[in-house]
């Protein structure tokens, strides 16, 4: 493998995405080739994009307009791609991202209705070129089940997590749409399974894709 490999994790709120990424980090930390992996999150990863994350998700003074929200996500994505993702891929590393542009299609496209999914994809191509995940794990869960899980969360929810169920139903439709038209890179996981079952499935898939790195 000469050019690296790009993996993203996607899903609506309370789907268990963060749990699986944490488990994957712990697993990779035990590997002899652990230095071949980097983890990024969107938005975030650099001082500038972490500040953009705060502005997008937790800015209390002046809530951004939907178009502003979309463009801030896009700005953070450019920084992340140019400063973190592309350099790592060029070094033959495995990049594992907590969200990428599929989130923008689902949240700002289908739920916020800022612009169409096609227009978001066109904008994405203009700003980051052909950079896209080779493999996307989509943790699929119904908004109703997600809301049950959120009600049990002790940590504070960010601005987007606090949106109502109709918003999150639209997010789910967005993910279902993009995963149906890009089946070649999406792997859909049943987020109703136990965390252990889901993780075992993820590792099984990774062994077929990047098995030489999992030693």
Residue 21, domain CATH: 3.40.50.300
Are the C-beta atoms of 57 and 114 separated by less than 8 Å?
Answer: no
- Integer CA distances (angstroms), 200 to 37, 62, 141, 213, in order: 19, 43, 18, 17
Count how many domains the chain has: 1
Residue 87 has pLDDT above 70, yes or no: yes
Residue 188: strand pairing partners: 138
Share of the chain above pLDDT 70, in %: 97
Residue 137: strand pairing partners: 9, 187
Mean pLDDT in residue range 10-26: 96
How many CA within 13 A on the CB side of residue 140? 14
Mean pLDDT in residue range 97-111: 97
Q: Which domain holds residue 151?
A: 5-213
pLDDT value at residue 63: 85
- Integer CA distances (angstroms), 165 to 28, 144, 160, 190, in order: 35, 7, 11, 20
Helix or strand or coil: residue 59?
coil
pLDDT value at residue 158: 81
* Strand residue runs (E) in the chain: 5-10, 37-41, 94-98, 135-140, 186-190
Share of the chain above pLDDT 90, in %: 83
Residue 215 has pLDDT above 60, yes or no: yes
Mean pLDDT in residue range 150-176: 84
Mean pLDDT in residue range 129-138: 97
pLDDT value at residue 135: 98
Residue 177 has pLDDT above 60, yes or no: yes
Average pLDDT of the chain, as a whole number: 93
Strand order in the sheet with 5-10: 37-41, 94-98, 5-10, 135-140, 186-190
Chain mean position to CA 70: 15
User: pLDDT confidence of 2, banded at 50, 70, 90?
Assistant: low
Residue 170 has pLDDT above 50, yes or no: yes
pLDDT value at residue 32: 96
pLDDT value at residue 1: 43
pLDDT value at residue 155: 64
Name 30's Cβ contacts closer than 8 Å, sequence gap at least 6: none
Residue positions counted in the chain: 215
What single-letter DSSP state applies at residue 2?
Answer: -
pLDDT value at residue 187: 98
Q: Is 129 left (phi over 0), alpha (psi -120 to 50) or beta?
A: left
The 10s digit of each residue's pLDDT in 27-83 is 999 999 999 999 999 999 999 999 999 888 887 778 899 999 999 999 999 999 999
What single-letter DSSP state applies at residue 181?
Answer: H
């Amino acid at each position: 493998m000469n050019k690296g490999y790009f993996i993203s994790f996607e899903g609506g709120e309370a789907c268990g995405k963060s749990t699986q990424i944490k488990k994957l980090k712990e697993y990779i930390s035990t590997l002899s080739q652990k230095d071949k992996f980097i983890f990024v999150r969107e938005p975030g990863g650099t001082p500038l994009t972490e500040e953009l994350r705060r502005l997008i998700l937790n800015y209390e003074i002046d809530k951004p307009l939907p178009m502003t929200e979309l463009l801030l996500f896009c700005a953070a994505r450019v920084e992340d791609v140019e400063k973190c993702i592309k350099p790592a891929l060029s070094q033959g590393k495995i990049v594992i991202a907590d969200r990428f542009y599929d989130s923008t299609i689902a949240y700002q496209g289908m739920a916020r209705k800022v612009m169409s999914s096609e227009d978001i994809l066109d904008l994405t191509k203009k700003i980051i070129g052909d950079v896209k995940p080779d493999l996307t794990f989509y943790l699929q869960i119904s908004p109703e089940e997600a809301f049950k899980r959120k009600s049990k969360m002790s940590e504070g929810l960010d601005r987007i997590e606090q949106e109502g169920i109709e918003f999150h139903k639209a997010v789910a439709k967005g993910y279902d749409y993009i995963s149906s038209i890009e089946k070649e890179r999406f792997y859909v996981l049943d987020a109703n399974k136990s965390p252990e079952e889901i993780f075992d499935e993820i590792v099984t898939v990774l062994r077929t894709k990047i098995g030489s790195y999992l030693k």
